[in-house]
Amino acid sequence: MNEPISTTYYCSKHGKICKPLFSILKWWKTYSQDTIKRLFQYDKLRKNTFQSFITGDSRTLDIYSVLKKKNPEFAKIVTTQKIKGIFSSPPYVGLINYHEQHAYAYDLFGFERKDDFEIGPLFKGQGKEAKQSYILGITEVLNNCKKYLAEDFDIFLVANDKYNMYSTIADNSGMEIVNQYKRPVLNRTEKDKGAYSETIFHFKKNING
């Protein structure tokens, strides 16, 4: 563990000499005011639409059943029109223990931890077995999601696919990757500060599969 910093230091994120914060009051005020401003802006822009937040295991979650309990009117629309698409950033294999990264939230809100249900957590590593488990997990998620998607769906997944697993995931899910968009990741604050590239994969139904 690093020692607390009390003097100026070279900041690899900003590429210059920075100094530690001795009070968060200034930033607290800045971000609080910015949040209020954004809420007012959003209130002017938002449309009369339904939104719903659902938690659960995305490999087995029954969206229709949950929505019927939370919002029957919304559930009726979803079951009739289906879901047009998904935009998500799945976990990267063997990179982060997400439960541990957000341990404060579990403690603060009393959420039940389910570390063993994570897909591709750091504690399982990046070996052959971990990669196979990751491919199976993401495939199960996509196959479960297909039940609720419209025929001509679009799925966009942000991934650091250095092990070239997403073509296999697409095949196993009865989908195809129709496009890829490169996205550089710079100015990282993690222990491994090296820049790397992410890819946004555009999935569609494989009509030949």
pLDDT digits (tens, 9 = 90+) for 161-196: 999 999 999 999 999 999 999 988 776 555 555 666
Residues of the chain with CATH 3.30.110: 83-205
Helix, strand or coil, per DSSP, at residue 26: helix
Ranges of residues in the chain with a pLDDT under 70 are 1-2, 187-196, 209
Question: What is the pLDDT, as a whole number, of residue 187?
Answer: 60
- pTM of the entire predicted model: 0.81
Helix locations, 7-127, DSSP H:
25-45, 63-70, 72-81, 98-101, 103-109
Helix, strand or coil, per DSSP, at residue 157: strand
pLDDT digits (tens, 9 = 90+) for 104-120: 899 998 989 999 999 99
Query: What tokens appear for 202 in the block?
Result: 């555009």
- Reported as half-sphere exposure (CB side, CA atoms, 13 A), residue 63 has a value of 19
Question: What is the pLDDT, as a whole number, of residue 11?
Answer: 86
Which one-letter DSSP state was computed for residue 112? P
Segment holding 58, helix H or strand E: none
Q: Which of 60, 57, 54 is nearest to 74 (CA)?
A: 54
Helix, strand or coil, per DSSP, at residue 129: helix
Question: What is the pLDDT, as a whole number, of residue 23?
Answer: 86
CA R_g for the chain:
21
C-beta atoms surrounding 154 within 10 Å: 15
Question: What is the pLDDT, as a whole number, of residue 209?
Answer: 60
Helix, strand or coil, per DSSP, at residue 33: helix
Question: What is the pLDDT, as a whole number, of residue 195?
Answer: 65
- What CATH class does 83-205 carry? alpha beta
Query: What tokens appear for 63 in the block?
Result: 């969206």
Residues in the chain: 209
Q: What is the mean pLDDT of the chain?
A: 91
182, 199 contact by CB (below 8 A)? yes
Query: What tokens appear for 201 in the block?
Result: 């994969």
